[in-house]
Amino acid sequence: MAIRKASRGGVPISDFKHRALVAALAGALAFLTPAYAEEPAPATPPPAAAAAAAKQDAEAPKVAMVPIILARELRDEPLPLSLLDLPPKDLGIAGAKLAITDNNTTGRFMNQEFKLEPIEESDPAKLIQDVVQKVDEGAHFVIVDATPDTLLKLADALKGKEALVINYGAPDDSLREENCRPQIVHTAPTRTMLADALAQYLVWKKWNRWLLVLGPTEQDKLYAEALRRAAKRFGAKIVEERVFTYDSGNRRSDGGFEQVQQQIPTFTQNAPDYDVLVVADEGNLFGEYLPYRTWDARPVAGTAGLVPQSWHPAIELWGGTQFQNRFKRLADRTMRPIDYNAWLAVRMVGEAASRTKSGDYKQLIPYIKGPNFDVAGFKGVGLSLRNWNGQVRQPILVTTPKMLVTVSPQQGFLHQVSELDTLGVDKPETKCKAYTQ
């Protein structure tokens, strides 16, 4: 008996399954084909949409870049008496870096970005040349730690250019007075500011009779002159002056130590009756030997003992703790006065930029030099600029090596404009003719 193949609708079942398989494969190929096919060209947006996108890009706020040049003249300085006083390699630079961070914290919200560009040179001519080149390339703010001679030459080289020089290193009063330049402002306090701050406290304590001891360097003589001026100004009396000579070659040797043990008492005996020994030793070459070694039991003040300065690593008032901690995290050390001066110089630029909402040099400079400018400096009051010599007015801290003792100006020392102007050269006394009086 013949066996017939099964069929569906007259079509053998085997043929039906074959056709179904072919159809399924064709469908799968049709599904996969777009992945291998050439992608279609993107659709061209309508002209109106393209114009709107272009307008949005054009109106997007642009970040204002504000470069700040740090110019540092490297000098060969004698070693200080104490190993604790050896200057770190980033002295001043670390303070400026912290201020850049502070400026950018606010600048992010105002489309402003600040950048620090350090230039360090031992050759003053090369330093000036490099700074001038940076200014010609578009930098407008230069903070400087250099000798007075180099600072003045730099300012004169930048004369007529769009640049502001901020001196954070040199305390010389002459830079603010007879040798002042309109393109320089100063965050470093002057010697007269430091001496006046100390004198106010000594007079307040009724320690009015001073024995003045000074070193032989020109800087020591300038500091001593500031102390003489302060004594006369606030009613103290210098009963005698003595110049201390020293041999720097053996200061740290055993023999040098024994020599000092014998020399200091002998040097300070037979002095007229005095309340305090004030010392002028800016190089820190002998002053630290004086406390506890004088013939008479007297306190020591000036550049050793009780010291006036712009900053101290023990300050906790006015938000100082948080400020100190941020610096220590950044630099892995404590903040020194010159670090603070550099920080303040950079912050002045940042504060002006945030207040004016601009990074344009032509708007920032008039504001910094104007009557409405001040900047917070962790000293309890706003710090502003004296319009007669470009000096930042600020409180001065009077400290021991480890603690804050007081802050000048002291109570009772009054002024018709600002008590801060009892420190340093006041407007009626100035010899500067370059600023608008």
**Confidence (pLDDT) at 79:** 83
Closest CA to 143 of 108, 123, 115, 101: 115
Average pLDDT over residues 148-170: 97
**Confidence (pLDDT) at 260:** 74
Q: Tell me: the pLDDT tens digits for 222-244?
A: 999 999 999 999 999 999 999 99
**Confidence (pLDDT) at 57:** 54
**Confidence (pLDDT) at 40:** 52
- pTM for this prediction: 0.85
**Confidence (pLDDT) at 16:** 45
Bigger pLDDT: 287 vs 52: 287
Tell me whether the CATH fold assigned to 64-189+311-394 matches the one assigned to 193-309.
yes
Average pLDDT over residues 364-391: 95
Examine residue 409 and say whether the peptide bond preceding it is cis (omega within 30 degrees of 0): yes
**Structure tokens, 131:** 């700074």
Extended beta strands in 122-233, E state = 141-145, 164-167, 184-186, 209-214
- C-alpha neighbours within 13 Å on the C-beta side of residue 319: 9
User: Contact 190/418 with Cβ under 8 angstroms?
Assistant: no
Quickly tell me which residue has 């250019």 as its tokens. 161
Q: Tell me: the pLDDT tens digits for 262-287?
A: 889 999 999 999 999 999 999 898 99
Average pLDDT over residues 75-79: 87
Residue percentage of the chain with pLDDT more than 70: 83
CA distance 213 to 292: 15
Residue 434 pLDDT level (bands cut at 50, 70, 90)? confident
Residue 35 pLDDT level (bands cut at 50, 70, 90)? very low
Extended beta strands in 281-395, E state = 300-302, 307-309, 375-376, 382-385, 392-393
Q: Tell me: the pLDDT tens digits for 297-340?
A: 999 999 999 999 999 999 999 999 999 999 999 999 999 999 99
CATH classification number, 193-309, choose in 3.40.50.2300, 2.60.120.10, 3.40.50.800, 3.40.50.150: 3.40.50.2300
Q: Tell me: the pLDDT tens digits for 40-50?
A: 555 566 776 66
Average pLDDT over residues 157-166: 96
Parallel/antiparallel/unpaired status of strands 375-376 and 237-243: unpaired
The dihedrals phi and psi of 86, each to the nearest 5 degrees, come to -60, 130
**Confidence (pLDDT) at 239:** 98
**Confidence (pLDDT) at 29:** 45
Domain ranges (residues) in the chain: 64-189+311-394, 193-309
Average pLDDT over residues 203-230: 97
Q: Tell me: the pLDDT tens digits for 103-152?
A: 999 999 999 999 999 999 999 999 999 999 999 999 999 999 999 999 99
CATH of domain 64-189+311-394: 3.40.50.2300
